[in-house]
Amino acid sequence: MVQQIKKIALLTGGGDCPGLNAVIRAVTKTAILNYGMEVIGYKFGYRGLYNNDYVPLTLDSVSGILNRGGTILYSSNKDNLFDYLVEENGVMVKKDVSDVAVENLKKEGVDVLIVIGGDGTLTSARDFARKGVKVIGVPKTIDNDLASTDVTFGFNTAIDVATEALDRLHTTAESHHRVMVCEVMGRGAGWIALESGIAGSANVILLPEIPYDINKIVEKIKAREAEGREFSIIVVAEGAKPKDGEVVVAKIVADSPDPIRLGGIGNKLADDLEKLLPGKEVRCTVLGHIQRGGTTSTYDRILSTRYGVAAVELINEGKFGEMVSLKDGKISSDSLENVIGQKSKLVDPNGELVKVAKKVGISFAD
């Protein structure tokens, strides 16, 4: 070991995601069983670090959590300690309170902080590294849009859930001769829609990367009817938009670092299609947070465990300021300085998966 590391801390930031608990478990077990380290977990992400609100993580406390969705440490996506909302003279103002977090880590004798999260959470991790905190990052997002790693844990579970939903929608669509629209997550990247759409035998897939022409959707539905197929399945990412329109915004969350909440494209699309398909029933199902919850898939349990073990191994090797990643099927790492600010990994409209989908008759309405 490069230096004696006695105590490490974990936190989970951003949206919850299947596989978080598996990472927490792997880090805790690896650190205790192999290196005799003490492990604690800050609650509600960076907010817990600011409030010094933590729990001990032991072999007992991580027992039985491998398959559970969510995070036993809880999470928050509103707490950037470099731009944090605090009360000052009766007025709420934004301030940099990161020094409070650094002092809390010193007070508790924490040698290394492992941060599990997406772009926003890991950006703060990089900023803490710049302040001298020994940090290790673990990437997380169900959207699978991080360019720094081949795949993120949680994505596989999300597409499993979406695929099962499409399987179930097929039976209702066929029984009633309906058009069924299924809205899935995916703000800027349509990976969930694309992969679940292929696996779930969708007839139309609508992605943020490929603006759609609603008339092409109507053509696809009518072509199926002419062939005797009186139902159709459409899967649409929440960030999809028509060629001559914009994304559908569900609401604005003023105190969030990312205030725009997308949602509603599925219902809008269903309404628009009913007007263009007289006598045809069009129904929409919005999966929403169902994609984030429940039992973690086998693939994500294994990937999360690999990430958790790798995070502790980076500590053992003294490689701080790094983020674990998966490259060409192998666990590796890259510096947080390199990975933060990279462009999102988007679906290539001319990529293999889109071509595969088109070859089997799926329309992207482009």
Q: How far apart are CA 144 and CA 141, in angstroms?
A: 6
Beta bridge partners of 10: 41, 114
Q: Which of 20-34, 79-93, 119-133 has the lowest mean pLDDT?
A: 79-93
Beta bridge partners of 261: 251
Q: Judge contact between 80 and 122, C-beta under 8 A.
A: no
3-state secondary structure 132-185: CCCEEEEEECCCCCCCCCCCCECHHHHHHHHHHHHHHHHHHHHHHCCEEEEEEC
Residues 167, 262 within the same domain: yes
Q: What is the 3-state composition of the chain as percent helix, strand, coil, each rounded to the nearest 5? A: 35, 25, 40
Q: How far apart are CA 274 and CA 336, in angstroms?
A: 48
Establish if 276 belongs to a structural domain.
yes
Q: What is the mean pLDDT of the segment spanning 304-313?
A: 97
Tokens representing residue 105 in the block: 């880590």
Tokens representing residue 187 in the block: 């703000």
Q: Judge contact between 301 and 278, C-beta under 8 A.
A: no
Q: How far apart are CA 202 and CA 205, in angstroms?
A: 7
Q: What is the mean pLDDT of the segment spanning 269-291?
A: 92
Residues 182, 283 within the same domain: yes
Q: How far apart are CA 351 and CA 336, in angstroms?
A: 28
Tens of pLDDT, residue by residue over 53-64, are 999 999 999 999
Establish if 2 belongs to a structural domain.
no
Establish if 164 belongs to a structural domain.
yes
Q: What is the mean pLDDT of the segment spanning 309-337?
A: 95
Q: What is the mean pLDDT of the segment spanning 293-312?
A: 95
Residues 168, 136 within the same domain: no
pLDDT for 1 equals 41
Q: How far apart are CA 16 and CA 350, in angstroms?
A: 31
Residues 162, 245 within the same domain: yes
Establish if 337 belongs to a structural domain.
no
Establish if 334 belongs to a structural domain.
no
Q: What is the mean pLDDT of the segment spanning 204-208?
A: 97
pLDDT for 302 equals 96
pLDDT band at 251; cut points 50, 70, 90: very low
pLDDT at 2 over 50: no
Catalytic residue status for 143? yes
Domain of residue 109: give its range: 7-153+296-327
Instruction: Tell me phi and psi for residue 167, to 5 degrees.
Output: -60, -45
pLDDT for 85 equals 87
Q: Which residues contact 31 (CB under 8 A, 6 or more apart)?
A: 8, 37, 39, 312, 315
Q: Which of 74-83, 100-109, 355-364 has the lowest mean pLDDT?
A: 74-83
- Name the catalytic one among 79, 111, 119, 143: 143
DSSP helix/strand/coil, 196: helix
Q: What is the mean pLDDT of the segment spanning 238-257?
A: 69
Q: List the CATH number of the domain containing 135.
A: 3.40.50.450
Establish if 332 belongs to a structural domain.
no
Q: What is the mean pLDDT of the segment spanning 91-115?
A: 95
Q: What is the mean pLDDT of the segment spanning 190-200?
A: 97
Q: What is the DSSP letter of 237?
A: E
Residues 203, 352 within the same domain: yes
Residue 6's alpha-carbon distances to 66, 111, 341, in angstroms, are 25, 7, 32
Q: Which of 36-40, 78-82, 174-178, 285-289 has the highest mean pLDDT?
A: 36-40
pLDDT at 365 over 50: yes
Residues 218, 283 within the same domain: yes
DSSP helix/strand/coil, 260: strand
pLDDT at 256 over 70: no
Q: Determine what percent of the chain is predicted with pLDDT higher than 90.
A: 78
pLDDT at 235 over 70: yes
> Phi-psi category of 338—alpha, beta or left, where left has phi over 0 and alpha has psi -120 to 50?
alpha
302, with CB counted inside 10 A (0-12, 13-18, 19+), is: middle
Residues 145, 217 within the same domain: no
Residues 85, 208 within the same domain: no
Q: How far apart are CA 139 and CA 137, in angstroms?
A: 6
Tens of pLDDT, residue by residue over 162-182, are 999 999 999 999 999 999 999
Residues 99, 205 within the same domain: no
pTM: 0.90
Residues 355, 207 within the same domain: yes
Establish if 339 belongs to a structural domain.
no
Tokens representing residue 110 in the block: 């924490």
pLDDT for 89 equals 85
pLDDT at 273 over 80: yes
Q: Work out whether strand 54-57 and strand 38-42 pair parallel, antiparallel, or are unpaired.
A: antiparallel
Tokens representing residue 156 in the block: 């596989």
Q: What is the mean pLDDT of the segment spanning 262-282?
A: 88
Q: What is the mean pLDDT of the segment spanning 196-210?
A: 97
pLDDT for 332 equals 94
Beta bridge partners of 38: 7
Half-sphere exposure at residue 119, Cβ-oriented, CA atoms within 13 angstroms: 15
Residues 189, 259 within the same domain: yes
Tell me how many domains the chain contains. Answer: 2
- From the CB of residue 122, how many other CB atoms can be counted at a distance below 10 Å? 25
259, with CB counted inside 10 A (0-12, 13-18, 19+), is: exposed
Q: List the CATH number of the domain containing 172.
A: 3.40.50.460
Residues 137, 219 within the same domain: no
Which is nearest to 160 in space by CA: 352, 296, 265? 296
Establish if 338 belongs to a structural domain.
no
Beta bridge partners of 285: 182
pLDDT band at 257; cut points 50, 70, 90: low
